[in-house]
């Protein structure tokens, strides 16, 4: 009986440990899209362990989606790089890292037309230049706690209440016309206090130090076009 209990306990420990092990990426993703890239599914969430080509419409360097449809995102870091490697390169020499609140991974989504159909961009800048632009329609910041630093990529799921993808991009897709585009950039960085931008808040009766983001150069970027 004692042996049986020990065996069951061992299985429980193994099951718990297995739950937290990162799943292996289906190599078909990298073969199709490459390292340091983003793929955009119009057919549901792309599972890490199983590449399903039917979820993607990819040609001429762009993903195509339906107006009124959905998108799910998955990213792949440069070969051999985990998020902690990318963060270390960026943060170790950053002069403002002493003010850090939390390390993050970021998704920034721009659109060439706003929700009402007004043109925002005539053409897309380089990914590095887009990182300095503040006209995104959706910004998603994920904490790197709970093991994220050891990941070699990540994903954003449509409808996940932990992000605003469905709320922000869903509204845009519902109004989108054929030819409208999204420009998606993925990066790492950190939140910090910005004492240089502090201001007096009359309602609170005190000086407020705002919190903002410092972002590294892009890991990957992609264009999405509405059919």
> pLDDT tens digits, residue range 188-223?
999 999 989 999 999 999 999 889 999 999 999 999
Question: Is 61 among the domain residues?
Answer: yes
Q: Please give the pLDDT value at position 22.
A: 55
Question: Is 7 among the domain residues?
Answer: no
Does the pLDDT at position 9 exceed 90? no
Q: CA of 107: how far to CAs of 52, 84, 159, 184, 222, in Å?
A: 23, 17, 16, 7, 11
Nearest to 124 by CA among 109, 140, 105, 141: 109
Question: Is 4 among the domain residues?
Answer: no
Number of domains in the chain: 1
Residue range of the domain that includes 70: 23-226
Question: Is 8 among the domain residues?
Answer: no
Q: Please give the pLDDT value at position 24.
A: 87
DSSP element (H, E) containing 58: strand 58-59
Does the pLDDT at position 155 exceed 80? yes
Question: Is 152 among the domain residues?
Answer: yes
Backbone angles phi, psi at 223, to 5 degrees: -105, 135
Question: Is 13 among the domain residues?
Answer: no
pTM of the model: 0.86
User: 215 near 131, Cβ under 8 Å?
Assistant: yes
User: 35 near 63, Cβ under 8 Å?
Assistant: no
CA separation for the pair 98, 35 (Å, rounded): 31
What digits encode the pLDDT tens for the residues 133-153?
Answer: 999 999 999 999 889 999 999
Question: Is 12 among the domain residues?
Answer: no
Distance of CA 128 to the CA centre of its chain: 16
Question: Is 100 among the domain residues?
Answer: yes
């Amino acid at each position: 009986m004692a042996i049986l209990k020990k065996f069951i306990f061992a299985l429980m420990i193994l099951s718990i440990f297995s739950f937290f092990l990162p799943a292996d990426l289906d190599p078909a993703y990298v073969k199709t899209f490459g390292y340091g890239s983003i793929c955009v599914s119009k057919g549901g969430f792309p599972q890490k362990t199983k590449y399903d080509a039917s979820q993607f419409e990819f040609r001429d360097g762009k993903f195509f989606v339906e107006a009124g449809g959905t998108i799910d995102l998955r990213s792949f870091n440069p070969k051999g790089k985990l998020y902690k490697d990318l963060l270390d390169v960026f943060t170790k020499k950053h002069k403002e890292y002493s003010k850090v609140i939390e390390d993050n991974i970021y998704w920034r989504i721009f659109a060439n037309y706003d929700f009402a159909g007004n043109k925002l961009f005539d053409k897309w800048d380089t990914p590095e230049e887009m990182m300095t632009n503040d006209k995104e329609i959706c910004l998603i910041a994920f904490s790197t706690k709970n093991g994220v630093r050891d990941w070699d990529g990540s994903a954003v799921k449509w409808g996940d209440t932990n992000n605003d993808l469905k709320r922000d991009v869903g509204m845009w897709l519902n109004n989108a016309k054929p030819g409208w585009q999204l420009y998606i950039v993925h990066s790492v960085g950190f939140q910090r206090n910005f004492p240089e931008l502090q201001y007096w808040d009359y309602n609170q009766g005190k000086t407020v130090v705002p919190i903002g983001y410092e972002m590294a150069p892009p890991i990957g970027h992609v264009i999405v076009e509405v059919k």
